[in-house]
């Protein structure tokens, strides 16, 4: 679930708060370091989605694309892309911020491209991502940092699926949207198939990244980004999800925040997924809260 990949929503929130003088810096990708709202890091479900009928592999079956996708959540799936397969995750997000620093920002295509290279192992490309942020002071456009990643899916243990993700982004983006230095993220993903239709998952991400303080001074800081998600498959290949995300630190001199996101996914055949999502912040950052809407798709090429 997109800690771009933290993740695309996290990167977009940072764009808003920094662009409007709030001094937050969690640019990622979902990945990603998501992972502020939503990536760095940047994405559908971090749990192995249960299928209509019981099966031995929670990451397989006719609805395996739902189980494999990271987007549109912040936490990541525990399922790796099968060997020889390519999965493209793309999306558009519009985020509004109210309070002390109002503004609006758009982010697209939030690319997170995944390549299965061996059983249980994939390589990932983070980006590109284009941003457009408008505040009372200015309109800024540009790209986010690019990066690479990997996922390793451990052998199945009953109803549990475990995965590990590593993400790295370099300071390659535009001046208004770069973290200003490299970002390293390590995710631990756990998924539990509670029933043939209900899945529960969590991702705990640790990130070490660059950022900017309130005075514009650059620095590095670490943060934890735990998330938890519940998915429910309903007839006709629909899946609903709800997620809660916390981030312990947004910038070198700033605390964290908590937000929720939820949405609906639809599988259009075994190789195409579309989704809609909504996110809301619980805690204000320097007097401002955010709300975002997004749409996206997951495409399996082979």
Task: Give every CB contact of residue 236 below 8 A, 6+ residues apart in sequence.
Answer: none
Q: What is the pLDDT of residue 33?
A: 36
Q: What is the pLDDT of residue 287?
A: 80
* Cβ contact 73:225 at 8 Å: no
In a domain, 47, yes or no: yes
Rounded Cα–Cα distance for residues 101 and 99 (Å): 6
Count of domains observed in the chain: 1
In a domain, 86, yes or no: yes
In a domain, 16, yes or no: yes
**Secondary structure class of 48 (helix, strand, coil):** coil
Rounded Cα–Cα distance for residues 215 and 39 (Å): 24
Q: What is the pLDDT of residue 55?
A: 52
Helix spans in 127-252 (H): none
The alpha carbon of 178 is separated from its chain's Cα centroid by a whole number of angstroms, namely 17
Task: Give every CB contact of residue 293 below 8 A, 6+ residues apart in sequence.
Answer: 93, 94, 276, 277, 278, 279
Rounded Cα–Cα distance for residues 155 and 82 (Å): 13
- What global pTM score does this model have? 0.83
Structural domain of 250: 8-300
Give the pair of three-digit tokens for residue 253: 């001199």
Q: What is the pLDDT of residue 213?
A: 77
Integer-rounded Cα radius of gyration of the chain = 17
| Digit-coded pLDDT (tens) for 104-124 | 999 999 999 999 999 999 999
Q: What is the pLDDT of residue 137?
A: 84
Rounded Cα–Cα distance for residues 177 and 109 (Å): 15
User: For the residues of 263-275, what is the DSSP string, one character each?
Assistant: EEEEE-STTEEEE
* Cβ contact 27:37 at 8 Å: no
Q: What is the pLDDT of residue 279?
A: 97
Helix spans in the chain (H): 8-19, 64-68
Task: Give every CB contact of residue 208 below 8 A, 6+ residues apart in sequence.
Answer: 183, 184, 185, 220, 221, 222
Which segments of the chain have a pLDDT < 70?
A: 1-56
| CATH number of the structural domain spanning residue 103 | 2.40.160.40
In a domain, 52, yes or no: yes
In a domain, 1, yes or no: no
In a domain, 50, yes or no: yes
In a domain, 3, yes or no: no
In a domain, 155, yes or no: yes
108: which DSSP letter? E
């Amino acid at each position: 679930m997109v800690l771009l990949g933290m993740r695309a929503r996290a990167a977009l929130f940072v764009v808003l708060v920094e662009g409007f003088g709030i001094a937050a810096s969690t640019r990622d990708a979902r990945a990603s370091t998501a992972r502020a709202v939503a990536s760095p890091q940047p994405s559908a479900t971090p749990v192995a989605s249960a299928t209509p009928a019981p099966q031995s592999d929670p990451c397989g079956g006719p609805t395996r694309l739902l189980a494999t996708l990271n987007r549109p959540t912040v936490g990541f799936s525990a399922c790796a892309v099968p060997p020889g397969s390519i999965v493209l995750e793309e999306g558009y997000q519009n985020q509004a911020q109210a309070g002390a620093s109002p503004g609006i920002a758009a982010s697209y295509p939030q690319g997170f491209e995944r390549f299965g290279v061996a059983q249980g192992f994939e390589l990932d490309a983070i980006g590109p991502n284009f941003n457009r942020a408008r505040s009372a002071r200015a309109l800024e456009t540009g790209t986010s940092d690019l990066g690479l990643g990997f996922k390793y899916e451990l052998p199945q243990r009953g109803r549990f699926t475990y995965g590990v993700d590593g993400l790295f982004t370099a300071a390659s983006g535009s001046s208004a949207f770069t973290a200003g230095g490299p970002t390293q993220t390590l995710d631990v993903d756990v998924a539990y198939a509670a029933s043939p239709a209900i899945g529960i998952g969590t991702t705990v991400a640790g990130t070490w990244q660059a950022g900017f303080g309130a005075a514009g001074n650059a620095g590095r800081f670490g943060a934890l980004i735990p998330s938890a998600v519940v998915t429910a498959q309903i007839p006709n290949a629909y899946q609903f999800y709800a997620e809660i995300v916390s981030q312990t630190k947004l910038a070198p001199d700033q605390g964290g925040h908590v937000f929720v996101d939820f949405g609906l996914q639809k599988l259009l055949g075994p190789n195409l997924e579309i989704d809609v999502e909504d996110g809301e912040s619980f805690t204000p950052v320097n007097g401002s809260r955010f709300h975002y809407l997004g749409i996206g798709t997951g495409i399996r090429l082979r």
